Amino acid sequence: MTATAGINSDPKKRAQIVVVGAGFAGLSAVKALSKADADITLIDRRNHHLFQPLLYQVATAALSPSQIASPIRSIVRRQKNASVILDEALGVDREAHEVILRDRTVPYDFLVLATGARHAYFGKDAWEDHAPGLKALEDANAIRNNILLAFERAERAPPGPARDRALTFAIIGGGPTGVELAGAIAELSKRALACDFRRTRCSDPHVILIEAGPRLLPSFSPRISGYVLASLQKRGVDVRLGAPVSDIGDKRLAVAGETIDADTIIWAAGVRASPAADWLGASRDRAGRADVRGDLSIEGAPEIFVIGDTASAAGADGKPVPGLAPAAKQQGAYVGRVIASRLGGKAPPAPFRYMDFGSLATIGRNDAVAEFGGVKLTGFFAWLFWCAIHIYFLIGFRNRIVVTLDWMWSYVTLERGARLITESVGFKEKAPGAAAAVMTLAAE
């Protein structure tokens, strides 16, 4: 072992590299180290890598969970210097150079923290119970169950407030996730479900997209935001701009002086970094992301790197690198190169530079927006491009084939293949202690 700031004093011992988080950033760091003469331990609290950009399709019954997730062990199966631990990191002992897991510690010479982000409710944590966010497969399953059950409730209820509430879907946050969810729920309501129900008509569901700022997709140009607004409105989505949410309760929210009753409320308005900065005692930005240096290590600890959604790195233009999958992948690959160069006693690579290849968001069938430098695409060709890119980046050959076939099938038939309610709906006797998990079909 060489230039690891004297951490590993035994030159015969292989360097121990610990990577926490098998998201886009962590996995790409592990892959970049495939030829390193080191033992890599990849730790994640889930056994699968999740392709979050398609999570909304699971939440809206277009895809099933296994189509957008792959077991971590099978992803790194062929990489002989890597092993996987299923466990949750709870902290880092910087003095002892150990990662603290639930019931043990793992020593490291190099540590890469890539633990992503979670929902943030701007200090109103109680809102989470009423307006769940979309981050993990469990969230997507719960949202899909809620949406499908709301239709079942509406079909059973007589016309009136309870039925209207069941058919009201409120999405908070007009970024890409909010736009994609609103478009997909409108499509699910009006195309697929309306055909299968006898008493629910196409025009009954009310999908509301609520954004505090003046326009949708603020990271895109104003022209694209205007296009998305018009497109969603054409699909029947009720878009409220400049409408901050002031309160969320049980099936009810207060928006710009109005109270909206909705059985389904989804939060897509904010994220906060995982607590990696707390573990390290490192400085952080307002979203809790650890401040990192040009080589993505933290101040005072050249052997500790923080990457992906949990890092606050400056881009070439001085703006923070965005919390996007390509940025996370690029950072993972970069840190792999930094560590490999240190292990090989070579000169370090130049400081990290984020390559922005553009942004994409889909609104629904045949409709998406894309922006690459000065090039702006909208409509069908942007949608085709969106489909191709997502298939390309999806991990696993089988998933690519299955998702392509599913999309083609849905395109032709307008069907949504994953319309299964997987929670008990209260018909069966409840298991002791399971009361909270049982969803109710009855309209209260």
Q: Which two tokens stand for residue 124?
A: 């109103």
Asked whether position 53 contacts ligand FAD by CB under 6 A, the answer is yes
Q: How far is the CB of 133 from ligand FAD (least distance, A)?
A: 8
Catalytic residue among 180, 187, 303, 371: 180
- Considering only 8, 41, 52, 145, the residue that binds ligand FAD (CB under 6 A) is 52
The answer to whether the CB of 110 falls within 8 A of the CB of 39 is: no
Which part of the chain contacts ligand FAD (CB under 6 A), choosing from 44-52, 206-214, 229-237, 428-436? 44-52
Binding to ligand FAD (CB under 6 A) within 253-292 occurs at 274
The answer to whether the CB of 362 falls within 8 A of the CB of 180 is: yes
Is residue 385 exposed (0-12), middle (13-18) or buried (19+ Cβ within 10 Å)? Answer: middle
CA–CA separation, 409 vs 387, rounded Å? 14
Which part of the chain contacts ligand FAD (CB under 6 A), choosing from 21-29, 73-81, 155-163, 292-300? 21-29
- Considering only 8, 19, 21, 171, the residue that binds ligand FAD (CB under 6 A) is 21
Strands of 264-267's sheet, edge to edge?
A: 238-240, 206-210, 168-172, 264-267
The answer to whether the CB of 255 falls within 8 A of the CB of 244 is: yes
Asked whether position 323 contacts ligand FAD by CB under 6 A, the answer is yes
Cα separations in angstroms, 274 against 12, 112, 289, 303 = 35, 14, 8, 20
∠ CA 360-361-363, rounded to 5°: 150
Is 423 an annotated catalytic residue? no
From 239, 162, 154, select the one nearest 202 (Cα to Cα): 154
Compare residues 116 and 364 and give the one whose CB is closer to ligand FAD: 116
Quickly tell me which residue has 């009136």 as its tokens: 160
CA–CA separation, 330 vs 25, rounded Å? 7
Q: Which residue is nearest to ligand FAD (CB)?
A: 23
Asked whether position 115 contacts ligand FAD by CB under 6 A, the answer is yes
Binding to ligand FAD (CB under 6 A) within 55-94 occurs at 55-56, 88-89
- Considering only 75, 192, 324, 369, the residue that binds ligand FAD (CB under 6 A) is 324
Which part of the chain contacts ligand FAD (CB under 6 A), choosing from 109-117, 205-213, 402-410, 430-438? 109-117
Asked whether position 135 contacts ligand FAD by CB under 6 A, the answer is yes
The rounded radius of gyration (Å) of the Cα atoms in the chain is 23
Q: How far is the CB of 198 from ligand FAD (least distance, A)?
A: 33
Which residues of the shown chain bind ligand FAD in the complex (CB under 6 A)?
A: 20-26, 43-46, 52-53, 55-56, 88-89, 114-116, 134-135, 176-177, 274, 308-310, 323-326, 328
Hey, which residues are catalytic here? 180
